[in-house]
Chain A
Amino acid sequence: MTEPASRWNVTGSLARALTIGGVGIAVALAMGRPAVVVLVAPLLVAGALGVVHRPTREPRVFNGLAHRQLHEGQGTRARLEAMDANDVEHVTRAMAPQPYVAMHPADGTVGQLVGPDHVIEPIEVSPRRWGRRMIGAEKVALTTAWGGYRWGPTSLPGRDVAVLPTRSHYRSGGEAPAPIGLIGAHRSRRDGDGTEFSSIRRFHPGDRLRRINWRVSLRHGNLHVESTRAEEDTAVLLIVDALADFGRSEGVGGAESSLDVSVRAAAALADQYVGGGDRVSLRVLSPGGEYAGYGTGTRHLRRIQIVLSRIRPGIPRDVAIDQIDFRTPAGTVVVVISPMLSESLATATVRLVRRGLPVIVVDPLPPDTTPTAYPDAEEEVASLAWRMRLLDRSHLLARLSAAGCPVVPWNGPRTLEEVLRRLARRGPLPRVGGA
């Protein structure tokens, strides 16, 4: 990435060989000791050859990563290029360990003899958790032949990499309760140009000839056509509760914290709905207030994933959660991904339900979550406080269920399928009063 300022220095090895060799020869001459010449002759030869291979030019080194964006668990290569490196025989690289970044080799330290083509083997790195990660910072040292001179170790900076949540390529069979758009994959309540069979009815002017069912038309003596359901898109609002992070995170494939589950669930749902042609928006409840408006397509999905990777948990200071305008057009499916440990968010959710929107709460709290307490807090008190919070939470969840808002634990991309089917069946029925 950059070319640091460094210079060649004599190594301890060369200094040792020349010092002992020189002093040994002097002692042998002064004291008349031929055996001392025998003892120090190899050191003198090694030292002399180190000096012979003294460098004649300053090398330039550059490091870089093959990717600027990665998904959790994906890997990339941290490359190092050396220019003007004809004097270099050996290169040592030591990459700084970073939280949630796996390296190969595991400690990020490699040494390698440099061939005539000056190719330096890359270090493989793989971020294990979503977020912004500084990857590739390392120290580099170059050594000449016979170990006489060393350039560095010098520090090379890393690169800020956006680590996006894991991808899931699942396409849900669940239908949206009230699709309202023009295009998409959800079955509409009205007839139109879709593929799913709706009914056989009498021919009306304007019907397409290829829709005529000739068998039924012959039986009845007049023309009948097969009608199909229209297919429409829907709007989906994903609300991610990043007010706090509960539980331990070990990165992808390991233990998940509540925020890990939330972010990965939001990414999976966004992938699922955007892939189905729906308009998806994301609202994060955090100090940063990350937001992505309604949109479709691959670029919009990438934007949502980047927004998710920027999340930093905390309580927003400038806005009251129960006062937030979530910008939900009629018919929008609202998915609230929250452990519901905040009463204000529960209130906001009930308000959305009362507006007649289909709202689903996805619970990301891992079942074995332990309390996060201050280091000097007593364990028993912390445990008791956590149990009280869980009791509050169960009351909130019961209130939400009573208000007509299903609460489901996150169980992979299929989580919402059955819930959405039930909401779609319930949708057309006449309702008396509000919840």
Chain B
Amino acid sequence: MRGGAWPSVWLMRAVVVVAVLVSLLAGVPEGYQPPAVLVAVLTAGALLAGFRPEHLVLSITLGAVVAWWALQLRGELPAAALVAAAAIIVAHTAATVLGYGPPALPVDPALGILWSLRAAMSWTAALAVWAVGRAYTGHGSPAAFWIAGLAAAVVGAVVAGMAAPLRAEEPRE
């Protein structure tokens, strides 16, 4: 244990920081360059989130990333959005894993694998939305029309998932 935390915990903290930076800088190759001040502020937020994974600071940091993308992209759907979506869910997942216990708790490999699979599964939702969005781009219908459709589909799927019982209720003793 170094610095009061296990190497696996330090690794997860690093993943949080790197994932936040990747989510912000994913569009650089396509010309979406964030200002240096924003990068610095969000790096500081990510660092803090690595040490306080349950704190509101990661929500603010990821929210700022989403806001920046919302300002940069209008109707377009670049591949960078998929990379940014992956980085956002990775940052969220790493913080979730860190939140399972104190820094003295090493990351259980089984838990790490489980959450990696969950993150990958969640990211497929971004892939599906992106594919549908790309398919409908340029069809001539107003953008708000199909965005509303996408959002309704995502929210509908989520609500349906929440309402439908995934597990059989066990009888109370």
Determine whether A31 belongs to the interface, using a CB cutoff of 8 Å to chain B.
Answer: yes
Judged by DSSP, the binding face of A is helix
CB-CB contacts of A31-69 with B at 8 A, as 1s and 0s? 111111111111111111101110011000000000000
- Specify the chain B residue showing the minimal Cβ separation from A141: B101
Determine whether A28 belongs to the interface, using a CB cutoff of 8 Å to chain B.
Answer: yes
How far apart sit A47 and B122, CA to CA, in the bound complex (Å)? 10
Determine whether the beta carbon of A37 is less than 8 Å from that of B123.
no
Determine whether the beta carbon of B59 is less than 8 Å from that of A29.
no
Determine whether the beta carbon of A111 is less than 8 Å from that of B101.
yes
Q: How many residues of A contact B (CB 8 A)?
A: 52
Interface hit among A12-20, A214-222, A342-350, A353-361: A12-20
Determine whether the beta carbon of A35 is less than 8 Å from that of B77.
yes
Determine whether B28 belongs to the interface, using a CB cutoff of 8 Å to chain A.
Answer: no
Interface hit among B11-19, B35-43, B124-132: B124-132
- Specify the chain B residue showing the minimal Cβ separation from A18: B158
Shortest Cβ distance from residue B30 to the other chain A in the assembled complex, whole angstroms: 12
Determine whether the beta carbon of B69 is less than 8 Å from that of A113.
no
CB-CB contacts of B49-73 with A at 8 A, as 1s and 0s? 0000111101100110111011001
Q: Which A residues lie within 8 Å of B65 (CB)? A: 39
Q: Which of B54, B81, B159, B162 contacts A38 (CB 8 A)?
A: B81
Q: Which A residues lie within 8 Å of B172 (CB)? A: 57
Q: Which of B54, B102, B148 contacts A11 (CB 8 A)?
A: B54
Judged by DSSP, the binding face of B is helix
User: Given that A25-B155, A42-B123 are known contacts, is A33 also in contact with B73, CB under 8 Å in the complex?
Assistant: yes
Determine whether the beta carbon of A37 is less than 8 Å from that of B133.
yes
CB-CB contacts of A261-301 with B at 8 A, as 1s and 0s? 00000000000000000000000000000000000000000
Determine whether A249 belongs to the interface, using a CB cutoff of 8 Å to chain B.
Answer: no
How far apart sit A89 and B167, CA to CA, in the bound complex (Å)? 13
Q: Which of A23, A28, A111 contacts B151 (CB 8 A)?
A: A28
How far apart sit A8 and B11, CA to CA, in the bound complex (Å)? 29
8 A Cβ contacts from A278-329 to B: none
Interface residues in chain A, defined as those with a beta carbon under 8 Å from any beta carbon in chain B: 11-13, 15-17, 19-20, 23-25, 27-29, 31-49, 51-53, 56-57, 86, 90, 92, 94, 107, 109-113, 141, 143, 146-147
Please name 26 pairs of A and B residues whose Cβ atoms are closer than 8 Å in the assembled complex, sorted by A: A12-B54, A12-B55, A12-B56, A12-B95, A13-B92, A19-B59, A19-B63, A20-B62, A23-B66, A25-B151, A25-B155, A28-B70, A29-B147, A29-B148, A34-B129, A37-B133, A38-B133, A41-B126, A41-B129, A42-B123, A44-B155, A46-B89, A92-B101, A113-B111, A141-B100, A147-B100
Q: Beyond the given A11-B99, A147-B100, could you list 8 further A-B residue pairs with CB under 8 A, ordered by the A residue number?
A: A13-B96, A27-B67, A27-B70, A34-B146, A35-B69, A42-B88, A42-B123, A107-B104
